[in-house]
Structure 1
Amino acid sequence: MTEIETPQGSRAPRDAPAALNGEPTLTRVSSRPAATTSDTDGTVHIDRSDPVNGRQLTRGGRVRKWDREPLPKDWRFYVGNLGKTLIAVGLLMFSFVGYQLYGTAIETAAAQSELEDEFAQQLSLVEPAAPDFVAGADSGAVSDVVTTDAPETVDVSTGEVDAPGEDEPTASDVDVTEPAAVPVEAQNIPIDLENGDAIAKLEIPRIGLNDIIVAGVETGDLKRGPGHFPDTPLPGQLGNSAIAGHRTTYGQPFRNVDQLQIGDEIRVTTLSGVFVYKVTGQTIVEPSEYEVVATTNPNVANLTLTSCHPVFTARQRIVIFSELDRTESAPVGQPVINYGRPDAVEAPSEIPGDLDLPTGDDGVDATVDPTVPVDGGDSTGSLTDEASAADQLGSVAVNEGIADAFSDGWFSDPGANSQVGIWGAILGAIAIAAYAISRRFRRDLLGLAVGLIPFTLALYFFFQNVNRLLPPNL
């Protein structure tokens, strides 16, 4: 119990005793009004254990927050509340950074574990693709014709130089032919592939990377692991296959790609075999320079890795170039675009009417088999049309798709806006409810205990959707 000693003559409680024998006495006065008692020597003791005017007191003798008089609304009131708001915002920002660095990594680790099991199961069900076909003009063989001029002959008797005649070979066509590319139909490519599904395994010994590659480079795809640009060939196919990955969030698989050196190995395992690429260089480009991942030579198998640069920002893109080492890889395949899926069909302007569908014996309407081509069409899109797939590489339509995916930046996922608003409102409602409980029962800890768990869960989903507004491969 804290008490204040004051000499006689100071203000003291009205019931304080007078001086004894004319000598001054010390009167102990509490820092707050309270019940008092006095001893025979004139000392006054003030008891702080009882409530005063019905107000609850803390153990230190202070009036509880809920019983204090409201502060005057002067400049100190507004500055104080502004300071509290800034502190709260700062704590939320620190929490968001923690979610980005650690929370997203936990999500990706769980997704990668699931993808590992799925891909291992897929590998166990297929055999490596092999060029068990007759190589020819239609097989996509890549030939480099080297022309060697026939040597001139010298007549020893006359000393004249004789040029080769028309009936003599003037040139020798020496075919230096690479192994023929495997046709698309002979490759192990899932025809029901969807964005986010596992398509390959990426290993880079230099930086210790060992992750599953997923189809697609949208925000939801890259949350699961490195993503493949659908508008580029698959790894192990002719053309430039491009893969994007995070450097800051979601396990940051491409965090150290800037450490790769020329000649470093990049190993990609697909359902068609193992393909080894060798790094040939790297560069830094603007987000609009999508040409770095577009195919420029359809007769060469390349692999390009991209990510945001510098780390923690999306200002530029870092690009790693590599080329397939055929001597250490499975047979290269013909390219396929968008995993052989049919192009998106534009929605009709009017709602179509009901169709007269045949009914089965059980009276249930029979549906059209999606695997049966309609009007001679191909249900698998371009999967078996290798000629058209090869022609699409470098086309305007394909490059536009690459450009859109490569340059995705802030607020590239408009569907997240409404979710951010909804979860923000839920957070506010939980905070208001917790405050109301604390005020009703005059206990801060009670409101904290009730609101902590639901607030934390809502905050997690709020951060998750805010992260969707950031560049996909940040």
Structure 2
Amino acid sequence: MTDLDSDSPAGASSPMQRLAALDAPATVPPGSGHNGSTPRPVRLTRRGRLRKWDRPKHPMDWRFWVGNVGKALIAIGLLMFGFVAYQLWGTGIETARAQNALENEFDALLAETAPITAPAPESDVADPDVAVPDVAAPVITTPPAADPQADAPVVVDEPATDGAEPADVPVTTAAAVPVEQQNLRELEEGDALARIEIPAIGVNDIVVAGVSTGDLKKGPGHFPETPLPGQLGNSAIAGHRTTYGQPFHNVDKLVPGDEIVMTTLSGTFTYRVTGTEIVSPSDYQVISTTDPNKAMLTLTSCHPKWTARQRIIIFSELVPETSAPIGEPVINYGRPIDETPDETLPAGADGDEASTPEQAEGVDVQAPLEQQSSEGGVSGNLADPAAEGNAGAEQPDEAAVNEGIADAFAEGWFSDPGANLQVGLWGLLLSLISVGAYLISRRFRRDWAGALVGIMPFVVALYFFFQNVNRLLPPNL
């Protein structure tokens, strides 16, 4: 008998079993175990190795710590890959669900709304009391065909002007649709406002009111401080390029001449791209109104992709020939512009509390938009002067509106403190699920047992954990 055979435990018939028996923990004779129980028999894998749960504990030396640090780094790396996947696809799932609900809401509104009609054209005459003199048209004759050198018309008679300036000829221009005749409804941030279509880059999304972080998660957002699409002035819309459905992912590919189609309750409006500009995040004036007599649309997003270092601005102008009648501008969705404390009127002589200028003039700020406009109250319409008898109601001017325009992507790291508690709670739940799965695997001595029970709860909790971690990141990421 060899030395190996002499040192082998009794009953080990093969070399593999003898090695397994040597590596196994010491056994206790039947009846002498804990509470008189019989030790669990040693089970080998198909490759003749001890199973994970039957192996002796490793000594807590440097190899123990290095191994556990490596496992922790691997777990962190997997979580980071999972978070990137959530950023790319998980946020898109949220936006897709929101867009489906918004599209149903907007389509229902369109079906219930009648199209608007253009008002009667106005004549632009310098003085309506001055009669326009009859001006004789010049007589144009064509030379005989026999003269090959003369192939252009020749003016042989022109009306005499006697050195006087030509009289003003009336010019017919299309008037903007008044506010009270437009299909405007009460809007709150996050509500469906319009549909934007950009055939050149495959965009077809519902635009929501507002540009806060929560609004842009639903889709492209409209700056409340700018006019609505289809109105005079510069209407501005922001959208993500990399997350939350990335509606403006390829706006950098737009070139002059590409069309942007906006559909609102007042009609369909076609804009034509005129140019692109890259600006710094602080150059918000590019989306303010510079010409109140021209209808424009500006798209803005982060640039380059995956960063917020700059902003990409897409300029476009309305194409009247293929658009519905243009309307007068409305700012802040017809709601009164917020007043600062120093603009609040002091308490009256009868002891009433301080009131806003609108309340002081007897205007119901909660009244519908059409009623406020007809009564001369503050409707947010830059082109609508204060009505007679209500001159005290201050109208927001262009400078005041531009000051209210904020950068949609200006928020930085940890800008949402409400997410801190949610991150902690969902992280704690993830830890409890992991510990529970480990204990189940240990109880049944099978790794797949704990994985089978804990995989679905872990994925669900991880999704909400990532969702709240994302709230702590800058909006552009």
Q: Please say whether Structure 1 and Structure 2 have the same fold, judged by a TM-score greater than 0.5.
A: yes
- Give secondary structure in 1 for the equivalent of 2:241: coil
1:455, CA displacement in angstroms?
1.0
Task: Among all aligned residue pairs of Structure 1 and Structure 2, give the percentage whose two residues are the same amino acid.
Answer: 58
- Give secondary structure in 1 for the equivalent of 2:465: helix
1:241, CA displacement in angstroms?
0.7
- Give secondary structure in 2 for the equivalent of 1:33: helix
Tell me, yes or no, if the aligned pair for 2:17 and 2:48 is still in contact at 8 Å.
Answer: no
1:11, CA displacement in angstroms?
3.3
More strand by share: 1
Which residue, out of 449, 457, 466, partners 1:446? 449
Which residue, out of 5, 8, 13, partners 1:12? 5
Q: Does 1:92 align with 2:93?
A: no
Q: Does 1:464 align with 2:467?
A: yes
Give the structure 2 partner of residue 33 of structure 1.
21
1:265, CA displacement in angstroms?
0.6
Q: Does 1:240 align with 2:259?
A: no
- Give secondary structure in 1 for the equivalent of 2:405: helix
Amino acid at match of 1:230: P
Give the structure 2 partner of residue 223 of structure 1.
217
Amino acid at match of 1:227: G
1:260, CA displacement in angstroms?
0.6
Structure 1 residues 345, 172: CA separation in 2 closer, same or farther (over 3 Å shift)? closer
Give the structure 2 partner of residue 155 of structure 1.
none
Structure 1 residues 81, 237: CA separation in 2 closer, same or farther (over 3 Å shift)? same
Which residue, out of 58, 67, 76, partners 2:44? 58
Take 2:223 and 2:59, find their aligned partners in 1: how far apart are those partners? 61
Give the structure 1 partner of residue 398 of structure 2.
394
Take 2:402 and 2:432, find their aligned partners in 1: how far apart are those partners? 46
Take 2:382 and 2:16, find their aligned partners in 1: how far apart are those partners? 96
Which residue, out of 426, 429, 445, partners 1:426? 429
Correspondences of 1:302-321 after superposition (within 5 Å): 302-321=296-315
Give the structure 2 partner of residue 405 of structure 1.
408
Which residue, out of 417, 420, 431, partners 1:417? 420
Tell me, yes or no, if the aligned pair for 1:246 and 1:254 is still in contact at 8 Å.
Answer: yes
Take 2:96 and 2:9, find their aligned partners in 1: how far apart are those partners? 73
Structure 1 residues 450, 136: CA separation in 2 closer, same or farther (over 3 Å shift)? farther
- 1:193-230 deviation digits (Å, cap 9, x = unpaired): 12221111111111111111111112222222211111
Tell me, yes or no, if the aligned pair for 1:288 and 1:403 is still in contact at 8 Å.
Answer: no
Take 2:105 and 2:17, find their aligned partners in 1: how far apart are those partners? 77
Structure 1 residues 319, 183: CA separation in 2 closer, same or farther (over 3 Å shift)? same
Correspondences of 1:175-254 after superposition (within 5 Å): 176=171, 178-191=173-186, 193-254=187-248
- 1:246-291 deviation digits (Å, cap 9, x = unpaired): 2112221111111111011111011001111000111122222211
- Give secondary structure in 1 for the equivalent of 2:234: strand
Tell me, yes or no, if the aligned pair for 1:290 and 1:407 is still in contact at 8 Å.
Answer: no
Tell me, yes or no, if the aligned pair for 1:129 and 1:188 is still in contact at 8 Å.
Answer: yes
Structure 1 residues 409, 266: CA separation in 2 closer, same or farther (over 3 Å shift)? farther
Take 1:31 and 1:386, find their aligned partners in 2: how far apart are those partners? 88
Structure 2 gap ranges (5+): 23-37, 125-134, 136-159, 342-358, 384-394
Structure 1 gap ranges (5+): 1-7, 18-25, 35-51, 138-149, 151-161, 348-371
Tell me, yes or no, if the aligned pair for 2:16 and 2:48 is still in contact at 8 Å.
Answer: no
- Give secondary structure in 2 for the equivalent of 1:88: helix
TM-score (norm 2): 0.73
Tell me, yes or no, if the aligned pair for 1:420 and 1:462 is still in contact at 8 Å.
Answer: yes
Amino acid at match of 2:21: P
Correspondences of 1:288-327 after superposition (within 5 Å): 288-327=282-321
Give the structure 2 partner of residue 262 of structure 1.
256
Structure 1 residues 220, 28: CA separation in 2 closer, same or farther (over 3 Å shift)? closer
Take 2:178 and 2:415, find their aligned partners in 1: how far apart are those partners? 36
- 1:158-203 deviation digits (Å, cap 9, x = unpaired): xxxx9978xxx54644565641111111111112x12221111111
Tell me, yes or no, if the aligned pair for 2:334 and 2:379 is still in contact at 8 Å.
Answer: no
TM-score (norm 1): 0.74
Amino acid at match of 2:281: P
Aligned CA RMSD, in angstroms, stands at: 3.3
Give the structure 1 partner of residue 151 of structure 2.
none
Tell me, yes or no, if the aligned pair for 1:341 and 1:381 is still in contact at 8 Å.
Answer: no
- Give secondary structure in 2 for the equivalent of 1:266: strand
Take 1:263 and 1:73, find their aligned partners in 2: how far apart are those partners? 70
Which residue, out of 438, 446, 450, partners 1:435? 438
1:68, CA displacement in angstroms?
2.9
- 1:133-162 deviation digits (Å, cap 9, x = unpaired): 68599xxxxxxxxxxxx9xxxxxxxxxxx9
Provide the aligned length of Structure 1 versus Structure 2: 391
Amino acid at match of 1:399: N
Q: Between 89-98 and 127-136, report the one with greater CA deviation.
A: 127-136
Take 2:178 and 2:406, find their aligned partners in 1: how far apart are those partners? 28
- 1:316-335 deviation digits (Å, cap 9, x = unpaired): 22111101111221111111
Tell me, yes or no, if the aligned pair for 1:283 and 1:318 is still in contact at 8 Å.
Answer: yes
1:432, CA displacement in angstroms?
2.0
Tell me, yes or no, if the aligned pair for 1:290 and 1:406 is still in contact at 8 Å.
Answer: no
Structure 1 residues 56, 249: CA separation in 2 closer, same or farther (over 3 Å shift)? farther
Amino acid at match of 2:98: A
Tell me, yes or no, if the aligned pair for 1:239 and 1:302 is still in contact at 8 Å.
Answer: yes
Structure 1 residues 401, 70: CA separation in 2 closer, same or farther (over 3 Å shift)? farther
Give the structure 1 partner of residue 154 of structure 2.
none
